[in-house]
Structure 1
Amino acid sequence: MSSAEFKTSKTRHDSMEKKMQKKATALKTRIDKLDKFTPPKHDKEIKFIDPAGQQFIKKTVLHVRKMDVKFKKKTLISQVNLSLKYGEHVNIQGVNGSGKTTFIKQILASKDYFNQSISIGYFDQLNQNLILTQSVWQNSIADSTQDNQVVFHVLSALGLLAFKDRLAMNLSGGQKVRLQLAKVLLGSHQVIILDEPTNYLDLKAKQALITFLNNYPGSVILISHDVAFTNQIRGKTYFIKNKRWLDSLSVQTFSNRNQGNLMDLKYRLDAMIQNPDTDIDDIRKIKQQIDDLTSEK
């Protein structure tokens, strides 16, 4: 290659290199302007702690025997038997007016049913034990022995973390209910009682609450109409039907017996309707019995 050809080739090579460097610099500038990508963090399973829990292992924290649940002298549930050891969870189900909340209030009204050494946390939507002049964070940790990470996680799951510095008096009604729930979950209790805790929760918060309750070291008494929610909570389920306190096996027996009674009543009703001499009041009585049994299924 002649000297002139070499110079021409080198100039062309230098020009291409400069262009490539310019493109590389432009590309780096574009990359630097892009939003930084952070790999998603997987939340660790929240572990509640109960420093006093060891002394209650295998001990009975609640014992109810042959108790009649009454409201204004009217019996709502007959002969309730419930024995609960530390760490056991129970769900209570029944139609509106069957006596679920009245049962809870009745056992809370008399400490004789509970182990005298335990602490009880109680949540319902009307029983808000908040200090309105304190912040969300201050209310949450007031009775808590949980570390800050657990407190952060609970508040985040219930949609309250963004308001942790806001005074409780400045929260909406739904936020106050959720803060009361957080306060009960984070409290230093051996037994927590939750009466319809999901009414102000979205799907994400419900899923978080399922995890919290299933990991809760103490005893849980849960009342909820949300069957999809309660089906994911560990523990034994009790049902209130026709003023009876029934477990799952008893419910099946009760339902089978009712089915037999229902068929018998319908047969008698058909026979009475076809008989022109039947008293109309007798027909109404049979019809009412059928309606009562149908509502209990």
Structure 2
Amino acid sequence: MILLQVNQVARLFGADILFQHIQMEISSHARIGLVGRNGAGKSTLLKIIAGVEQPDEGAVIKNKQATLSYLAQDTGLISEKTVYDEMLDAFLPIRKLEAKMREMELKMGEIDPTTPAYTQLLAEYDRIQHEFSEQNGYGYENEIRSVLHGFQFDASFYDQAISTLSGGQKTRLALAKMLLQKPDILILDEPTNHLDIATLSWLETYLQGYSGALLIVSHDRYFLDKVVTEVYELSRHKMRHYKGNYSRYLDEKATQLASEMKAFEKQQDEIAKLEDFVARNLVRASTTKRAQSRRKQLEKMERLDRPQGDEKSAHFLFEVEKPSGNIVLQVTDAAIGYEDTILSEPINLDIRKHDAVALVGPNGIGKSTLLKSIIHRQPFLKGQATFGANVSVGYYDQGQAELSTRKTILQELWDAHPTLPEGQIRTVLGSFLFSGEDVEKPIGLLSGGEKARVALAKLAMDHDNFLMLDEPTNHLDIDNKEVLENALIDYDGTIFFVSHDRYFINRIASTVVELSEEGARVFLGDYDYYLEKKQEEAELQALLEQPSIETVVSEGKQNFQQSKEKQKKIRQFQRKIEEIETQLATLETEHQMCQDKMVQPEHLNNHVFLQELTQTSEEIETQQLSLMEEWERISLELEQEETV
């Protein structure tokens, strides 16, 4: 069933077009990924689809019965309630049914059960109870706890006021509440921001089983591959639709581009031949008619535009001015944290030349703190870090605190390298997609993605041999992430980086370090290897938690003995029931014989005999009643024994 349609939608800024002629269809259970460059208009289009903004052209038509929820990028939950009370609000209709059931139960205790009013009330109660059960009324609180746990909120958060939480926590709670509300159409703009890897994995699994339709903007390629089944690409003011996940979209797009280029080149060859024929034969009397025919053919031809391919991407390299020694960084018995609070210990690292080490772990465990402690911006609580010979460190701060918001882009780089000519600085900025008047923009007015490119440009100009990167892919669109990946793959130095982007980790890392409260653990492989090892450990732990063979044998013997006794008791009950049923059958026959004799003509006037028959019949009925009570009792005991 079609839930929503986008028909010929456009967003215009005077004569400038952000996008135009946009068509989209959202069906029941759709899993749609919306991709495109930063600035292409993805967030604007989501707002139009969600009804937050109105289109300049076209219309969005939504099924009137369909519910829709929209979560904007980095939107936090604003509430004075506690975490748990706010989540309960997602189930207001169910809780109203629950309250109504409690009222009816009290009322039923006050009404005579033999009256029609009680019967009517009971029927209404059964109807509401069925509706309550159908809407998961008996399980919604378990659902709340499950979703909160998935977003890393344990029971200690339940009574905490939302207003006291951090921005990232409020964002996670906003998404949690929407998931619990289960709208028919769920629109999410960058839902993976601020989520650690464990939460991302949980969210992927949850969304795969989500009952409604999904429309998602995300730069997380791993996430898109796991969740979406169709992709809409917004590029150069237009939209294209592809079936499949993100990887399939890339393949389809490449195939489509090759096919369009082939058709274009074929038409260009045909046009060249026709134009050449017209030029050579139009002035000849003998061939003028044929030349005129070819010219008309050219005029009627619907000419194909040259396929434009991918939009312009940044292009840069990280070069090393002077190589380091073999030992780059050693961290020994370190502890990180704040004042008396230790986040993680012990931390021991040995990073060698050309290593590419990814640092992973849950949010709040101290990954950024560890990087800052290594470069002496924050002290270790214990231990120390030592750099090797000739190591020069380049640091990328995820908050871009290294950038001066009052400077222009050009000033920021030129002040760091004052001896370089302006032309060379502009050339570097051009490779990071800043050209012409763009370089005069104040950094304070830039978007997150633009600031990220300035910080990377500044880092690339320093030519350090050891890069320490804290979430370098944040704010970058997918194409620029791939440019960064390729630059780091070609980099001749050493890399130590923090990232939640699993696709990025897989391409860059040769080693994964997992940070936890128990310190740092090293896995010598990429992200897939790390996942494989963690899975093996989980399976081994589950195996170790299983009872020993001796315990199993002992329990088996005990269970076997218990089973024998149980079967013996069941057989006893069954035999007793059979005996009672046989006795009942005999008594029924005797009772019927008494009844038959009482109506025979020869006995009608024999009052003494009739009195004896009546007494015998009553005695039989008493025995039958007693046996039936015993039969019911034993049958109930048998049923209980069989279900244990």
TM-score relative to the length of structure 1: 0.64
- Paired residue type of 1:74: T
Q: 1:255 to 1:66 in 2, by over 3 A?
A: farther
Tell me which of 202, 205, 220 is aligned to 2:477: 202
For residues 425 and 513 of structure 2, the distance between their equivalents in structure 1, rounded to whole angstroms, comes to 35
CA contact (8 A) 1:191 1:220 kept: yes
For residues 198 and 38 of structure 1, the distance between their equivalents in structure 2, rounded to whole angstroms, comes to 26
Aligned-CA RMSD value: 4.2
For residues 17 and 138 of structure 1, the distance between their equivalents in structure 2, rounded to whole angstroms, comes to 67
Runs of 4+ in 1 over 4 A off after TM superposition: 13-16, 21-31, 33-40, 131-135, 140-145, 147-150, 249-258, 260-264
Q: 1:206 to 1:189 in 2, by over 3 A?
A: same
Alignment of 1:19-34 (within 5 A): 19-22=289-292
- Paired residue type of 2:396: F
- Paired residue type of 2:470: D
Match of 1:290 in 2: none
Match of 1:100 in 2: 367
Match of 1:155 in 2: 432
Larger relative contact order (C-alpha < 8 A, sep ≥ 6)?
A: 1
For residues 39 and 76 of structure 1, the distance between their equivalents in structure 2, rounded to whole angstroms, comes to 48
For residues 74 and 177 of structure 1, the distance between their equivalents in structure 2, rounded to whole angstroms, comes to 32
Per-residue Cα deviation, 1:160-204 (whole angstroms, up to 9, x for no partner): 457345343442344223321332244221211111122211111
- Paired residue type of 1:108: I
Tell me which of 456, 462, 486 is aligned to 1:187: 462
Per-residue Cα deviation, 1:35-58 (whole angstroms, up to 9, x for no partner): 678999xx9x965421212xx2x4
Q: What SS does the corresponding residue of 1:232 show, helix, strand or coil?
A: helix
Alignment of 1:234-273 (within 5 A): 234-248=509-523, 252=534, 255=538, 258-259=541-542
For residues 409 and 488 of structure 2, the distance between their equivalents in structure 1, rounded to whole angstroms, comes to 21
CA contact (8 A) 1:118 1:190 kept: yes
Alignment of 1:134-149 (within 5 A): 135-137=408-410, 139-140=412-413
For residues 263 and 73 of structure 1, the distance between their equivalents in structure 2, rounded to whole angstroms, comes to 39
For residues 131 and 231 of structure 1, the distance between their equivalents in structure 2, rounded to whole angstroms, comes to 33
The reply on whether 1:49 has 2:319 as its aligned counterpart is yes
Alignment of 1:9-20 (within 5 A): 15-20=285-290
Match of 2:330 in 1: 63
Match of 2:348 in 1: 81
CA contact (8 A) 2:449 2:477 kept: no
Farther off after superposition, 201-210 or 128-137: 128-137
CA contact (8 A) 2:318 2:463 kept: no
- What stretches of structure 1 of length at least 5 have no aligned partner? 1-12, 265-297
For residues 237 and 120 of structure 1, the distance between their equivalents in structure 2, rounded to whole angstroms, comes to 20
Deviation at 1:83, TM superposition (A): 1.6
For residues 499 and 404 of structure 2, the distance between their equivalents in structure 1, rounded to whole angstroms, comes to 26
Deviation at 1:239, TM superposition (A): 0.6
Q: 1:97 to 1:167 in 2, by over 3 A?
A: closer
Q: What SS does the corresponding residue of 2:375 show, helix, strand or coil?
A: helix
Per-residue Cα deviation, 1:62-117 (whole angstroms, up to 9, x for no partner): 11111122322222221211122232210011011112111111111169622474
Q: 1:113 to 1:127 in 2, by over 3 A?
A: farther
Match of 1:126 in 2: 399
For residues 187 and 142 of structure 1, the distance between their equivalents in structure 2, rounded to whole angstroms, comes to 12
For residues 516 and 537 of structure 2, the distance between their equivalents in structure 1, rounded to whole angstroms, comes to 9
- Paired residue type of 2:357: V
For residues 355 and 486 of structure 2, the distance between their equivalents in structure 1, rounded to whole angstroms, comes to 15
Match of 2:176 in 1: none
CA contact (8 A) 1:66 1:78 kept: yes
Farther off after superposition, 197-206 or 107-116: 107-116
For residues 107 and 39 of structure 1, the distance between their equivalents in structure 2, rounded to whole angstroms, comes to 43
Alignment of 1:214-293 (within 5 A): 214-248=489-523, 252=534, 255=538, 258-259=541-542
Farther off after superposition, 21-30 or 196-205: 21-30
For residues 400 and 545 of structure 2, the distance between their equivalents in structure 1, rounded to whole angstroms, comes to 41
For residues 49 and 257 of structure 1, the distance between their equivalents in structure 2, rounded to whole angstroms, comes to 44
Q: 1:188 to 1:244 in 2, by over 3 A?
A: same
- Paired residue type of 1:151: V
Per-residue Cα deviation, 1:121-145 (whole angstroms, up to 9, x for no partner): 2122324323456543554576579
Q: 1:107 to 1:257 in 2, by over 3 A?
A: farther
Farther off after superposition, 119-128 or 103-112: 103-112
Report sequence identity in percent. Answer: 24
- Paired residue type of 2:510: G
Q: 1:30 to 1:166 in 2, by over 3 A?
A: farther
- Paired residue type of 2:490: N
Q: What SS does the corresponding residue of 1:66 show, helix, strand or coil?
A: strand
Q: 1:34 to 1:127 in 2, by over 3 A?
A: closer
CA contact (8 A) 1:71 1:102 kept: no
For residues 49 and 171 of structure 1, the distance between their equivalents in structure 2, rounded to whole angstroms, comes to 26
Farther off after superposition, 231-240 or 115-124: 115-124
CA contact (8 A) 1:48 1:150 kept: no
Per-residue Cα deviation, 1:244-269 (whole angstroms, up to 9, x for no partner): 311127965864675467668xxxxx
CA contact (8 A) 2:316 2:487 kept: yes
TM-score relative to the length of structure 2: 0.32
For residues 416 and 299 of structure 2, the distance between their equivalents in structure 1, rounded to whole angstroms, comes to 52
Match of 2:29 in 1: none
CA contact (8 A) 1:62 1:82 kept: yes
Q: 1:38 to 1:101 in 2, by over 3 A?
A: closer
Q: 1:121 to 1:180 in 2, by over 3 A?
A: same
